[in-house]
A = this chain, B = another copy of it.
């Protein structure tokens, strides 16, 4: 299968444009990772988010990722995902962000749906992603988007959590969705 990194930008409502990212978007995505989470986890949380999206994702996985610019060319949303190299049925959504002033307008869902379509077209039948258990809005959001919660080894506020999933002190909630 050949992926097409350069796809035509697509006009969305409100003067927004969705397109594939380039490496030049890296700094703006890092800025979003710092400022778009409402201070979740403080400076340590911001640092953790930034380190989880090193530049390599904007070099090697842009053909399965999206960014959204507003009419003035400002970044207002992104989705970084990939097709699993080892699991031929699976796609993975690594990180999604939406600027606070654009939340609750369906922008995140628009990017998820585009990723689902792209993964289906590439023959994938399942998509996985994770979030932190402190991010209850994210847990609710993924459930609405059709993801099932995977079993955890503990339960936090009724949510199954895998302790130390991404390392010591980094618990995660794991989601899976059929495509």
Question: A: which residues have CB within 8 A of B?
Answer: 3, 5, 27, 30, 48, 50-52, 54-56, 59-64, 82-87, 90, 92, 94, 164-168
Contacts and interface: CB of A to CB of B under 8 A. Distances in A.
A36 B163 CA distance: 24
Given A82-B85, A166-B55, A60 B92 contact: yes
Copies of this protein chain in the complex:
2
A50 B82 contact: no
A63 B51 contact: no
A165 B51 CA distance: 12
Contacts of A60: 82, 84-87, 90, 92
Contact of A56 (B56, B63, B92, B168): B92
The 5 closest A-B pairs by CB, nearest first: A51-B51, A60-B84, A63-B86, A30-B167, A54-B166
B30 A168 contact: yes
17 contacts: A5-B86, A27-B164, A30-B168, A50-B167, A51-B167, A54-B167, A59-B84, A59-B86, A59-B92, A60-B82, A60-B85, A60-B86, A60-B87, A60-B92, A61-B86, A63-B86, A85-B85
Contacts of A30: 167-168
Given A60-B84, A60-B86, A85-B85, 13 more contacts: A27-B164, A30-B168, A50-B168, A51-B52, A54-B166, A54-B167, A55-B166, A59-B86, A59-B92, A60-B90, A60-B92, A63-B86, A83-B85
